[in-house]
Structure 1
Amino acid sequence: MSDSSKRKGPLVAENRYRKMAKPAAAKPTSKPKAKTRRKYAPKRRGGILGFLNAIVRFFFRLIWVIASRSALVGIAVLALIVGYFYTTLPPLDDLLDGRANGSVTMLDQNGEVFAWRGDQFGGPIRANSVSPYLKNAVIATEDRRFYKHFGLSPRGIASAVRINLSEGRGPLSGHGGSTITQQTAKLLCLGEPFDPTAGMTEAQYEAECRRGSIKRKAKEAVYALAMEAKYSKDDILSIYLNRAYMGGGAYGAEAAAQRFFGKSASEVDPAEAATIAGLLTAPSTLSPTSNLERSRNRAATVLRLMNEQGYLTDQEVANAMANPATLSDAAEARAGGYFADWVMSTGPEFFTRNTTEDVIIRTTLDQRMQRAAVEGLQWVFDNKVREGSKAQAAIVVMSADGAVRAMVGGRKTKVSGAFNRATQALRQTGSAFKPFVYAAALDLGYSPNDLVDDSPYCLNIPGSGQWCPKNYTNSFSGQTTMTNALAQSLNIPAVKISESVGRETVSIVASQFGIKNDLAAGPALALGASESTLIEMTGAFAGILNGGSSVTPYGLIDLRLQGDSEALMGTGGGIGERVIQETAAGQLIYMMEKVVSEGTGQRAQFGGRQLAGKTGTTSAAKDAWFIGFSADYVAGVWMGYDDNTPLKGVTGGGLPTEIWREVMSRVHEGVPVKPLPMVLPAPAQVIFNGDVNEVMPVEQAPVSQAPAPQRPGNIIDQVLQDIFGGIGGGGSSNRNSGDR
């Protein structure tokens, strides 16, 4: 028993091995996995569906591989392209001032800015130096996510495409969805500078820069990404604020603030900032100088956007709405109008119209007188001219030295680049020319009290036949003084005196006084058959006022570059050489004073002042003039139609004289009363008994240093008729010119 009990050991060992073999015996636990594999295997390898499924899975894997690797390649290529543009981008300072030309800023006689010309800029600015209201207004209006995106806004592009398609346009037509960065890239023309030798005009170049093709848009996007990598957000915004066109000829926010509000972009308030930001959508149509009401409506929308985005409180918006932006005086005047255009035309082109520098021009303009001219013209047309009349008028006011103080070139006074009737319109002068006839006679020794016979008178004009001038009234005065003949604008005495002193002498005197255009060669010269401009005629009358010296009208005092203290050039006008003796000029002023106090220009009187002038009406009343002066200022007024339609019921002594009075009465507000520099005439020295040169000199007039011309006796009457039959001379349809 004992032995048998000792042999139980192996049994224990066997049991131990069986226990250790349990893991091997646990094979059935792996069978379910085998069964699981067998469960799906038939689907991969069995049937048509399994085959198709395998093919689809294969192509999806293939597409994924291709797409992912293509994307990586595309990203790499895009990075290379962006890197290329990155290397071509210049330093920031080179992009802030992007003008092709410089600018011209014009100052009035008191040093106040009143006009701008050229590519307006006002100097580079930075996003952190402008008013925060302006910076926020631009972001709220143009790109509210500007500081969050990487240069492109997929959300904005998708929204723009959706809106364009819903409105029936192409996906890239209309709304652009561009970020400020993309707009800046477009302003830089994607780094393509203008090349004048490339056979493309600057206008074509700008049109190409704005083209919205898919290729162009793609390049714009890449360029925008390069800019985002190269510059900071504020740098990009600075370029945009300096280069964007903002209407009214202003490029950049600084120029817009200066032009519209007369202040720096760093000083604008919320209403002004909203106005400037609102211009970016449509600068030409929304410009406050084009339509102030429309501009204010757009500004109100910008203010609401600023409020919605947290840039303005409700109270700030309410204040801005209650106090909308107001234009400065210079902006209200539409950049100086006719006067500024004229000054630009008188200066050298390389410092005015084609300047590459920023130029400052000091001018003779008096803005108070300019307002007086505009208001006087408007008052007459509102109160004296029938409604709907298309008649035009022009005004020039100047000092006796030719310094132009005010200019109106047409009834539309707030214009720029318009036809200037004061400086560009050549019109027949009519009887306004007669003072030069009498100036020639007085300089030769005649006296204002000399008598001339106002009776029927005819001349034979070769090729035209007999020419018989008539007075405006078709009546005759008989023996009359030269003073009365001028005061009543009698035609026959003017022709007789012209023929007596010589047409050539009259032409020389008129030319030296500043009438530059070809003067008529025939006897109708005395009646104003020649053409001239208003500024020439006004300058010639200024020569009479200053004592008989010629005058060159001028508006430019000096010109300098911005930042320089030394002027590059001075005025090109002023008083020139003497034309007639000072005594003769004083006597002529006496005669012209009688035109206003007793003659055809009586409507010009105002304020108890001594005034002198001359009316003028051409044949068929196509032109009507009044040019006159006080002791301080000379003013000229022309009225007529651009197409030479005759004026109805208008003579120089009518509406033009009334315009002159309304303008000059305003000009002289606050100006002390001064007497005219007249020279009273001596008693009658010469008697014109009949026709030309039928004169009996009594004694030499003591008021003149020049001897009286030698003139024959009565026999000359018949001799002159024979002479005029053989001497060439031009006739004129202006035979009835005159004034009442």
Structure 2
Amino acid sequence: MANGRGRDGRGEPNFDVPEGRGAGRGGADLRLSRDDRPGGGVASRVRDGEDKGSRRAKPAAKSGARRSGGKKARRRSLLGRLVYAGWVLGLWAVVGIAGLIAYHASQLPPIDQLAVPKRPPNIAILASDGSLLANRGETGGRVVGIKELPTYLPRAFVAIEDRRFYSHFGVDPVGILRAIGQNLTRRGVAQGGSTLTQQLAKNLFLTPERSASRKIQEAILALWLEHKYTKDELLELYLNRVYFGAGAYGVEAAAQRYFGKPAKNVSVAEAAMLGGLVQAPSRLAPNRNLPAAQARAAQVVAAMQELGFITAQDAKVALAQPARPASSRGGGSANYVADLVMDVLDDFVGTIEGDIVVQTTIDTTLQATAEKALVDELNAKGGRYNVGQGALVSMRPDGAIRALIGGRDYAQSQFNRATMAKRQPGSSFKPFVYLAAVERGATPDTVKEDAPIKIGNWQPENYSHQYEGPVTLRTALALSLNTVAVRLGQEVGAKAVVQTAQRLGITSPLQANGSIALGTSEVTPLEMVGAYGAFANGGTGVIPYVVAGVKGVDGKVLYKRGEGGLGRVIDPNAVGMMNAMMHETFVIGTAKKGDIPGWDLAGKTGTSQDFRDAWFIGYSGSLVTGIWLGNDDGEPTKKASGGNLPVEIWKTYMSVALKGQTPVPLPGLNRWRKAPETTASVASAPNPGNILGQIFGEPPAPAPAPRATAARRPAARDADDRNFIEKLFGLGD
């Protein structure tokens, strides 16, 4: 190892160079000379001074020029480097933006698969005269074509939302820069840079999320929309999709919701308010913040005038007479009708694919009259009688509903009491008991005993706790004597009473027990009015209906109501007897103050236990109307009975509804009507009841029983009536 060889005889390399020698043992010098370095001998010679003389001999001017040229070169090099760097950065920015766009575009469906989604269908619900009652569906209004609208309406949106709409390609760089500039010079966000096309893209395809990602996708979709549709087509799509608040999507829905008119009829001021509303539908809704809505509309008017969309005179009028929302009476009772339509519509048309128009049987005049009669009465006397709610149903004898009020105020409660509230009908159920008896041989002149009766542990009483003794059925029904109704129910059987009511159209479950005769099983107002329709039309069973027909917006008939009903459910002779007995309710009975001169009327009042429900259902030969009053929680009223508030509402409404019509006779009434001379004989009879006969026109005592005296008549139930005679001898129901 001392000699540098290993055991195998091979030598180890040695890079040591002896001092002062140029090679190792092998004679190889591995060090670099000056000539071997970059620059070679030139560099060494310069350093060694070989060319010093030649450098000193160069003129000074040339030396200065060389130094000046070097500075310019260096300057050009710096500028070039900056330009180059900027170009490179710009290129990478373009690549980055393109990649970003490509990434977000990849999150969207392929362009060739994009399609504008269908707008949710609208159901326009019309009255019998073709006027709009309500819109139903997710949008709240039908689709309108841009050609249907006044020119200033779409221009209002262009003026305030996207004044360069007709010149940009979907994204407006100028508008974005302008918005940025205005936002920088104001506190908060003054303007947005989205075009109408971008807003449409957002409404059609994207969620309301606010993010850079969504804005990029919005721009991409806007470019696609601009490529696929014309400007007018885009504007039409926008006007039918944009949200205006209060559940209204589209300009038609908004015009109906806020101004109670179709979009084609809005004024310049109203168009400006609609145009300004889309910026903040909740904050600017005119029915919630009218000053803010009007201030925004003034801005729209100014923008429209500036762009030449309206004249100076138009602007002056619009600013002088700003738009105001239309008032909705009583919370909009037509909405109760609309709810009923939607409940039954599936039975007629099934799945709804596009906009449809539903023609109803509702008479707008009668609907408004009914609403006013009910609301006014409750406002005037509801507090005194502790009555909080009410319902009204009015229909033709064939079942066509002409007016329907489901409550005092739809805005406060959407529960439809006319169709859904099941309440005890009280004595208004008694006609079914009497009909069952008539069908088994009884007549209006059949005499029954009004006296105490006991069935097991149950002992029903008259309201007055007094009894008439022997009375005819027509008198017993007119005076609403409970014991006579219970006796009849016992004679015919509770099952027969239930079957009779069901045959006439009562569909709610009925309990076949003794108390059924007094109306203890719960029913709805719509059922009761429908059942009474058979008395008004001569014996044909009625199926109440509100939908007369359904069409598509293209006019195609999807449904048309034909002849229908339950067929004959009452014998004509029995109908005449029932009408004669219920007619006496208006002559001597509990609905006497509801009489309308010139008309043959019939009906029955009803009051449930503890005065929880007050009913009156009355009819002419052309119209059947029922009223229910009470409290939703079943709290007792303060002696509100069928003979007071319901009769008053009924008369107020029916007086208008029947005005100008030719009186229609009640079927079979004349055959069984009590003869006038009978009333005269009672008036001349020398007995204590003579004065009552003169006042109330009551019938004479049926032989062989004498009529009851005044002391035995029911006490008054109408706590509101101030007439002394009625207070003394008032008639219960």
Partner Cα separation in structure 1 for residue 450 and residue 291 of structure 2 = 61
Task: Specify the alignment match of 1:454 in structure 2.
Answer: 450
Match of 1:241, SS? helix
Partner Cα separation in structure 1 for residue 163 and residue 471 of structure 2 = 84
> Could you state the TM-score of these two structures normalised by the residue count of structure 1?
0.74
CA apart distance, 1:109: 2.2
1:375 matched to 2:366: no
Match of 2:154, SS? helix
Match of 1:521, SS? coil
Matches within 5 A, 1:588-603: 588-603=578-593
Q: 1:240 aligns with which of 228, 232, 238?
A: 238
Match of 2:490, SS? helix
Q: 2:176 aligns with which of 154, 167, 170?
A: 154
Residues 1:136 and 1:100: Cα distance change in structure 2 (over 3 Å): closer
Alignment deviations for residues 45-89 of structure 1 (CA, whole Å, 9 cap, x no partner): 9xxxxxxx9999898567524312213424654776799899955
Matches within 5 A, 1:127-166: 130-147=149-166, 149-150=168-169, 151-152=171-172, 153-155=175-177, 158=180
Task: Specify the alignment match of 2:441 in structure 1.
Answer: 445
CA apart distance, 1:620: 1.4
Q: 1:385 aligns with which of 368, 382, 389?
A: 382
Task: Specify the alignment match of 2:7 in structure 1.
Answer: none
Alignment deviations for residues 289-324 of structure 1 (CA, whole Å, 9 cap, x no partner): 778787656544432443354433332123234555
Task: Specify the alignment match of 2:13 in structure 1.
Answer: none
Match of 2:274, SS? helix
1:35 matched to 2:64: yes
Q: 1:508 aligns with which of 499, 520, 544?
A: 499
Q: 1:104 aligns with which of 99, 123, 134?
A: 123
Residues 1:77 and 1:271: Cα distance change in structure 2 (over 3 Å): same
User: Larger deviation: 585-594 or 298-307?
Assistant: 298-307
Residues 1:226 and 1:363: Cα distance change in structure 2 (over 3 Å): closer
Partner Cα separation in structure 2 for residue 413 and residue 32 of structure 1 = 103
Identity of aligned residues (%): 38
CA apart distance, 1:90: 6.7
1:637 matched to 2:659: no
1:64 matched to 2:86: yes
Instruction: Tell me the C-alpha RMSD between the 2 structures.
Output: 4.0
Match of 1:385, SS? helix
Match of 1:675, SS? coil
Q: Which has the larger radius of gyration?
A: 2
Residues 1:453 and 1:300: Cα distance change in structure 2 (over 3 Å): farther
Task: Specify the alignment match of 1:365 in structure 2.
Answer: 362
Q: 1:424 aligns with which of 414, 420, 427?
A: 420
Matched-pair contact (CA < 8 Å) for 1:156–1:178:
no
> Could you state the TM-score of these two structures normalised by the residue count of structure 2?
0.75
User: Larger deviation: 530-539 or 106-115?
Assistant: 106-115
Partner Cα separation in structure 2 for residue 448 and residue 159 of structure 1 = 90
Match of 2:383, SS? coil
Matched-pair contact (CA < 8 Å) for 1:554–1:572:
no
Alignment deviations for residues 111-160 of structure 1 (CA, whole Å, 9 cap, x no partner): 3333322245644534x764221122101222234345551443365368
Q: 2:529 aligns with which of 538, 544, 548?
A: 538
Q: 1:336 aligns with which of 334, 337, 342?
A: 334
Matches within 5 A, 1:218-617: 218-228=216-226, 231-247=229-245, 249-257=247-255, 265=263, 268-283=266-281, 298-323=296-321, 334=332, 336-348=334-346, 351=349, 354-386=351-383, 391-413=388-410, 418-460=414-456, 466-565=457-556, 567-571=557-561, 574-617=564-607
Partner Cα separation in structure 2 for residue 487 and residue 56 of structure 1 = 113
Alignment deviations for residues 595-633 of structure 1 (CA, whole Å, 9 cap, x no partner): 122111123223443221111111111111111112210
Alignment deviations for residues 432-476 of structure 1 (CA, whole Å, 9 cap, x no partner): 10111111111222111211111111111xxxxx11001111222
Match of 1:626, SS? strand
Partner Cα separation in structure 1 for residue 527 and residue 483 of structure 2 = 26
Match of 1:458, SS? coil
1:180 matched to 2:209: no
Matches within 5 A, 1:718-737: none
Q: Which has the higher contact order (CA 8 A, sep 6+)?
A: 1
What is the identity, as a one-letter code, of the residue corresponding to 1:69?
A: L
Alignment deviations for residues 367-420 of structure 1 (CA, whole Å, 9 cap, x no partner): 1111111121122123333389670111111000111001010111568x9211
1:125 matched to 2:115: no
Residues 1:414 and 1:270: Cα distance change in structure 2 (over 3 Å): same
Residues 1:600 and 1:251: Cα distance change in structure 2 (over 3 Å): same
What is the identity, as a one-letter code, of the residue corresponding to 2:558?
A: L
Structure 1 stretches of 5 or more lacking a match?
1-27, 46-52, 191-208, 461-465, 685-737
Partner Cα separation in structure 1 for residue 83 and residue 429 of structure 2 = 98
Partner Cα separation in structure 2 for residue 88 and residue 584 of structure 1 = 74
Structure 2 stretches of 5 or more lacking a match?
1-56, 676-730
Partner Cα separation in structure 2 for residue 374 and residue 275 of structure 1 = 30
Residues 1:653 and 1:241: Cα distance change in structure 2 (over 3 Å): same
CA apart distance, 1:526: 0.3
Matched-pair contact (CA < 8 Å) for 1:613–1:629:
yes
CA apart distance, 1:225: 3.9
What is the identity, as a one-letter code, of the residue corresponding to 2:92?
A: S
Task: Specify the alignment match of 1:50 in structure 2.
Answer: none
CA apart distance, 1:163: 9.4
Matched-pair contact (CA < 8 Å) for 1:289–1:334:
no
Alignment deviations for residues 27-54 of structure 1 (CA, whole Å, 9 cap, x no partner): x999657425426869999xxxxxxx99
CA apart distance, 1:348: 2.1
1:661 matched to 2:651: yes
CA apart distance, 1:283: 4.0
CA apart distance, 1:285: 6.5
Partner Cα separation in structure 1 for residue 399 and residue 447 of structure 2 = 34
Residues 1:331 and 1:266: Cα distance change in structure 2 (over 3 Å): farther
Partner Cα separation in structure 2 for residue 528 and residue 484 of structure 1 = 19
Matched-pair contact (CA < 8 Å) for 2:135–2:141:
no
Residues 1:560 and 1:214: Cα distance change in structure 2 (over 3 Å): same
Residues 1:485 and 1:179: Cα distance change in structure 2 (over 3 Å): same
Matched-pair contact (CA < 8 Å) for 2:494–2:514:
yes
